[in-house]
Every structure is written in structure tokens, then in C-alpha cells.
A and B are shown apart, each in its own frame.
Chain A
Amino acid sequence: MIELVDVTKKFGQKLAVDRLSLRVRAGELFAFLGPNGAGKTTTIKIICGLLAPTSGAVRIAGYDVTRDGRNARHLLSYVPDQPYLYEKLTGREFLQFVIDMYGIPCDTGARRMAELIETFDMRSYIDSLTETYSHGMKQRVVFAAALVRDPRVLVLDEPMVGLDPKSARLIKDLLRARAAAGAAVFMSTHTLAMAEEIADTIAIVDRGRLVSYGTLGELRATMQMEGPLEDLFLHLTAESSEA
């Protein structure tokens, strides 16, 4: 569903992503890990079509993001680390804008919106202007906007930032449910315990390069290490830095 083939991104002389190749299948929850400055957000922006790769290709369900970005983006929902909402719209109006933009039929859109308002417990504030929302409230609206159109590909950058434990639990369950329903979920996170808990596949990048890729079991087997993901992560990124 998501395919990166030899993707390289340079900012001037700086190499942000270095020949990265990955594949995330339908129904797979993929955790993308790495230290700060490893190239995670750059990779995500390339997947979403915000940045063009210097070389290589990104495909979403077979659509090349660079050449056929419109079709690719239609299949994809993106939840950024810093949620963007129109401050002078209410949460409901924002969701309606997303429904309109993606051409979702009115009745389907209204039904999904109502379901998500219930799911995320947004009834008390959904008709207030978003400028009055807290970070957590904004994050919920952004999640609802990402899910309201039932995307086949869900890309999330640090989805747990600013969420309370209850919301965090809800998001984890929803992500698993989306994957179980056949969506490809690509998530970057620093919350290693969450990745360990819900991810099917884990990729670790450092300085733009893929240093490890597989299920948690495969990573352990490759590294010949037992223990939590945190130990594996620290070991791998330390090794990469030394190299």
C-alpha cells in the first residue's frame, strides 16, 4: 500500500534521507522510529507529497506521489505532530470542510461525523470555535478529520503528543482497528512502549538511513538481544552513530 523505493532527500548539501526503501502492506501497522533529526518527519512529508524526493519513488496504492499525487493523496490521511485547524471554524465546520473536500456524499459524511463525535467524546465543544480548544481537543478533531473519510492509508507523525491517557488508549485501539479493517497505518513515534505494544512492523532510522526493519521478533533475532524495544533501539542507534 505504501512503497518507498530508494528514496533520497537532500537539503542543499545535507542528506536528510538516504536511499530509504520500505513497504507497508494493507492491514499493517507500521512504526517508524528514530532519534531526533533522523529524517522521520522528512520521510513522512515525502509520503504525503509535501516534499519532493531528490531521487527515488514513493507510491501509495500504486500511485506515484510525485507524478500522480492527487490520486495518492485522495487515499491518504495525514495527522501531523502539530495539528492545524482553522481557528475561526468550529470543529464541526472543519470536519464538514474535510468531508466536502474529499467529495464524501452528504448522508455518509453526516453519519460518520456523528459517529466520530461520539467516539471522541467531542459533543460538548464541537460547535465552539477551535481557537478555544486545548491541544488535546484539537488533536481529537484532527484525528476525527483524518478518519471521517475512511482512508486506506493513514500517516501519523507523533500521534500521542498532548493526549491524556484515556485519549491515548482510544487512539491505540482505533489505529489497531483501522489496520484490522485493511488500512495501512504508518506512524512515527518516540513512544517506544506504544510501538512495542501495537505495531506489526518496526523500522528504525538514523541519520536518514534505515538501520533495522522487521517485526519485533525479527529485530530481536537479528540483534540477538532480548528485552524491551527501548534497549534494541538504543543499541542500534548507538551502533549506527559509531559507524
Chain B
Amino acid sequence: MTGEHAGERGKVNQAAPSMASEARPPVREARVFARLRTRLVRNIVRVRLRQSRLRLSLVLIFSVLFWVLLFGLFFEGFSFVNKHLPVGNELIGYLFSLFFMALLVMLVFSTGLILYSGLFRSREAAFLLTTPASADHIFAYKFQESLAFSSWGFLLLGSPMMTAYGITRFAPDWFYALFVAYFLVFILVPGSVGAIACLLIVTYLPRRKREFLIACGAALLVGMIAWIVYLGRATPGEVLTETWMDALLARLRFSREPLLPSQWMSEGLMAAAGGDARMAAFYFLVIAANAGFLYLIATLTARGVYRRGYSNAQGSRSTRLPRSWYWVDRALTHVFGFANPSIRLLIFKDIRTFRRDPVQWSQFLIFFGLLALYFLNIRRLSYDINSAYWRNLVSFLNLAVTALILSTFTSRFVFPMVSLEGRKFWILGLLPVERDHILWGKFAFAVGGALFPSELLVLLSDIMLRLDWSMILLHTMTVLILCMGLAGISVGLGARLPNLSEDDPSKIAAGFGGTLNLVVSMLFIFLIVVMLALPCHLYFAGLEAERHGVTFATEREFRFWMALSIAGSVAIGYAAAVVPMRIGARAFRELET
């Protein structure tokens, strides 16, 4: 379609009337799309304000709470670094560079994936492509949307961090306005790279895009593993000593390469916080110029290939699936043999859907893979030879991290499950099974999917930390409670707050319901982990204190508090699994489509 703007070149029949170009006044498409966006946003806000004030208030309250919590954490962190570390500012520079570099990679992937749905799979794109709108304007319109969806979390995470940094560094007032502008131009860089990659992959590898993405994900994972192993193994000196820290910083120097956008962010924001307006403006303009250039390339790429890519993407889906995976279904038939046959079929449906969507399991694999790698390196970090007090602390922190990552997955993949039935809901609605059973089927699927990797990871962490069997048993039980609770919250809230008109799971997860689900899940994790970790922590702290001749808890008291904590966590876990499921089931029974 590169010749679309070739004017008369494409007019093959000279005898035909050229009404198109004669009578048509110029259309400012950018303005038309801007008006469309304004109307859509205005109507959404109006509807929300009129129909769901409570929902909106909750979103605001939770967002503010989350923001304040993050601000507090960052403020304490920056204050600590400034106060206690002589190389504090240099260390912060490294942390900023690494943080923005990680964001750079994540935003490339997330924008690319969201844009793929928007440009090649949505009905809106099909509608817009039948209008005379140029490919680059359609692209720009969908790009804005994808970028907003992929990067709002970055803004939510980054703004308390920069505010805390600014306060601890006594930054001038203009710093706080400038860092927002920095963020806005920065997200254009990975967003544009993700968009260019998305357009080119779909256009030139329409039949191999899935394999290509898997290969990229695997390469990224292997690269990160190799890098972390290298950092861990090749850094000389005892862990956390000055020699070790110097060597580590030397190895991280690549993150401060002057040609990396993450380094421009780091340098520019630190200069701005220090009141150096000239350097701050310089780095801002460097990022803005590069962002503008990359965005221009992205729009030119869209102008050149989007229509062809769309056409290729429509015919790229294989009609016949390989039978090589069917053994999994047969094996699962035995695993879920206890379940009602119709529920079992519904579980298989969800498993097949999950299996055939590499976007889902590849993210699962990357994050849990990285966590497994860290756990495998626990002994290299010498955590296992520390005192029982420290090992207990690290073990619960590891468990909490595993649960937090799991909660992002249940929010991203389990919560949207009911919503994704959407227009196909009538199929489930007409099945000769109780609707409650459908929901419990999804619950079983979520618990099964979450339990296996989480237990494995926590077990690995415990073994590497050389914990005794009673603590391993306690952690195994904690993970079971967490998995059941998280599954109950996500399935139940997913049924209570479905978004049946949306096909894109990332948008469902990013909406009100998904955000609420994430917040509730995190609160649940916090409650369970603290409830079980606290008596253990006090017990081991008591053992530590005993070595210094102080006793503050007897074995009997510890057992009592431990039993109470276990009973409490089981009760909370049960409530977290059952209450949302009941609320969800009631809403699901009454659901009409």
C-alpha cells in the first residue's frame, strides 16, 4: 500500500470519473481523531460520574493510598542512602539507570503487544481501515491508546519515586513539573520501538510471529540469566563489602552508557534535582528529539506497511492445530478425575485457551524463571550460612515476593476470564451445568495453575536456605492458603465486575475491576504473610536475644501464638476464597448478555 498517496498513479481507467479527488475538501484527520478521542473520554467520564461514583471514589482512594505508600517507601529509601552511604548519589544514579532500562525493555514489549491487539485484531481497526483515513493516522490514534494502557503503571510508580527523590535532594520547584514532562517523552521511546517491531513482525512474519515472540522472550530470559549469573559469580570479594560493591558497580557500568535513553533520564533528572537547569534541559531535549524521531519512523513504517500487515494478519491463523499437545489433555483428564465431567471439560477449555496464548505463559515463564534463578543463587549470596533469624526473614520475604508476582498474574490472567467469555457467554449460559459450577471450574483451574509453580519456588527457596522441615511445612501451607485466596478473589471479583464488551485482557486487567482485584490481592497477601511471619520472626528474634542473655518469649508462648496465627490465616484464607466466590457466583447467576 505504499503507493496510496501516489495520487493519479493508481488511477488505471482514465475514462472513469475522478470524483474522489475533485469534490473532496481536505480533511484534517488528526483533528477528526482528536475530536473522537475527546468525545469518547468525555462520555466515559460522564457515565462513570453518573453511574459509578462509588467505583470512581474507590479507584481514587486506592490510587492515593498506593501512591502515598510508595512515596513513603521511596522517601525512607532515599533518606537512608543519602544519610548512610558516602557514594549515595552515585548509587542512586545506577539505580535510576537500571530502573529506566528495565522499564525501557518492559514498555517495548507491553506497548507492542497491546498495539498488536488494537491494530490487527480489533473490530475498530477493521472499521477505520474501510474509511479513507490514512494508515499513519489510524496508527497514531491506536498508538496513543496503547501507550496510555502500557505506561500508566510507570507513571503511578515513577511519580512518588521522583517526588521523594526531589524532596530528599531539596530540588527546586520546577523539578516536579519537569519530571512529568521527562516521563511523557521517555515513554515515547520504548513505545515507538515496540510499535515499529509490532508492525514489521506482523507484516513480514505473519505466520511466524508467535514463534518469533517466543524466541525473543527465551533469548531475553537466557540473556538475563547469563547476566545475573555473571554478576553473581564474577564479582570478587565478600558479598556487600566495599570491594564487592565497587566491583559490582564497575560491572553495572554498562547501564550508564551515554547513548542509552535510560542514562539520559537518570542524568537529566539528577541534574534537575540538583538545580542544574542547563543540563536538565539538555537531556530533556536529547530524549525529546530521539522520541520524536523514533515516533516519526513508527508513523512512516505504519504508512508503509500497516494495511499490508493487516491483510497478512487476517490470513495468518492456522486452521489446523498440531496434535502434539493432546497428551497433556489426556494426562489432565486423570489429574482432574475427581471433578464433575462437565466442570472438567470447562477446566480443559481454560487450559487450552491458556496454552494456546503464548503471551500469557511466556510472561509467566520469564518472571517465575527469574525468581527461580534468584533462589538458586541464594547460597552464592551466602544467605544460607546466616543465623536462623536472618534465614527466616529472607524465607518469608521470598515467599511474599512469589505471592506478589502471583497476584499480578491472577489479576492479569485470572480476573479477566469471566469478562473474556463476553459475547460467547450464551454458550456457557446454555450449558446444562449450574452457573456456580462454571465459576468453581475456573477457581479450580486458577488454583491448579498457581499452586504448582508457587509451591515449587518456595520449596526451592527453603531448601536453598537450609530451613528445617517444620518451616517448610508452614510455608507450603501458607502458599496453599495464598493460592486459594488469590484464586477466589480473582475469579469472584472477575464475575462480580465483568467487562463483557472488552476483548483485550490487558485492558480488562487495567480497568477498575482489575485494579481493585490487584489491590485486594496485595492486601490479602500482606495480611497472611504478616500474620504467619510475625510469630516466627519474634521466635527467632527471641533465640537471637537469648544468646545475649535476654528472653522475651518462651517456647510455649510461641506455640500458642503460632497456633493462633495458623488458625487465623486459615480462616482469612477461607474467607478470601469463599466470600468473593459467593459474591461472584450471585452476580454470575444473574448475569444477562
Contact = CB atoms under 8 A, between A and B. Distances in A.
A89 interface: yes
Given A70-B5, A74-B20, A49 B307 contact: yes
Contacts of A82: 123
Residue with the highest number of chain B CB atoms closer than 10 Å, among A59, A78, A88 = A88
A14 to B, nearest CB: 7
A51 B13 CA distance: 22
Contacts of A152: 19
Contact of A101 (B4, B27, B318): B27
A72 B12 CA distance: 12
Contacts of A101: 27, 29, 32, 131-133
A37 B446 CA distance: 37
Contacts of A10: 315
B87 interface: no
Interface in B272-315: 307-308, 310-311, 314-315
Contacts of A70: 4-5, 132, 134
A89 B4 CA distance: 30
A141 interface: no
Nearest to B131: A101
Contact of B17 (A3, A61, A89): A61
B63 to A, nearest CB: 22
Given A69-B307, A105-B25, A51 B126 contact: no
A63 B20 contact: yes
Given A88-B40, A89-B39, A101-B133, A71 B10 contact: yes
A57 B92 CA distance: 61
Contact of B13 (A62, A73, A78, A129): A62
Nearest to A64: B10
A97 B32 contact: yes
Contacts of B10: 63-64, 66-69, 71
Nearest to B123: A84
A6 B396 CA distance: 69
A100 B307 CA distance: 22
Given A73-B132, A97-B36, A50 B17 contact: no
Interface string B114-155: 000000000110110111111000000000000000000000
Contacts, number: 143
A87 interface: yes
Contacts of B127: 80, 84
A176 B507 CA distance: 43
Residue with the highest number of chain A CB atoms closer than 10 Å, among B35, B126, B318 = B126
Contacts of A11: 315-316
A12 B5 contact: no
A51 B206 CA distance: 14
A110 to B, nearest CB: 16
A225 to B, nearest CB: 35
Contacts of A196: none
Contacts of A76: 130
Contacts of B9: 67-68
Contacts of A129: 43, 47
A78 B1 contact: no
B308 A52 contact: yes
B130 A48 contact: yes
B13 A52 contact: no
Contact of A73 (B11, B44, B131): B131
A97 to B, nearest CB: 5
A64 B12 contact: yes
Given A64-B10, A69-B4, A88-B40, A52 B47 contact: no
B134 to A, nearest CB: 7
A78 B11 CA distance: 21
A100 B32 contact: yes
Contacts of A49: 129-130, 307
Given A62-B14, A73-B131, A131-B501, A50 B19 contact: no
Contact of B124 (A9, A66, A84, A90): A84
A158 interface: no
B537 interface: no
Contacts of A102: 27, 131-132
Given A68-B6, A68-B11, A70-B4, A86 B40 contact: yes
A78 B128 CA distance: 11
Interface in A1-44: 3, 9-12, 14, 16
Residue with the highest number of chain A CB atoms closer than 10 Å, among B20, B29, B40, B318 = B20
A97 B37 CA distance: 11
B25 to A, nearest CB: 5
Nearest to A93: B39
A53 B104 CA distance: 38
B27 A78 contact: no
A75 interface: yes
Contacts of B13: 3, 59, 61-62
B3 interface: yes
A84 B503 CA distance: 14
A61 B19 contact: yes
Contact of B18 (A57, A59, A62, A98): A62
Given A62-B15, A74-B20, A75-B20, A84 B132 contact: no
Nearest to B31: A100
A103 interface: yes
A54 B591 CA distance: 45
Given A101-B133, A152-B19, A88 B44 contact: yes
A59 B19 contact: no
B26 interface: yes
Nearest to B312: A52
7 contacts: A3-B13, A16-B315, A62-B11, A70-B5, A71-B21, A84-B124, A101-B131
Given A49-B129, A68-B7, A88-B40, 12 more contacts: A3-B13, A59-B12, A61-B19, A63-B12, A66-B3, A67-B1, A70-B132, A70-B134, A71-B21, A98-B131, A100-B32, A100-B35
Interface of A: 3, 9-12, 14, 16, 45, 48-52, 57, 59, 61-64, 66-76, 78, 80, 82, 84, 86-90, 93, 97-98, 100-103, 105, 129, 131, 152
Give 9 closest A-B pairs by Cβ, nearest first.
A68-B10, A62-B16, A62-B13, A11-B315, A67-B10, A71-B20, A103-B27, A52-B311, A84-B127
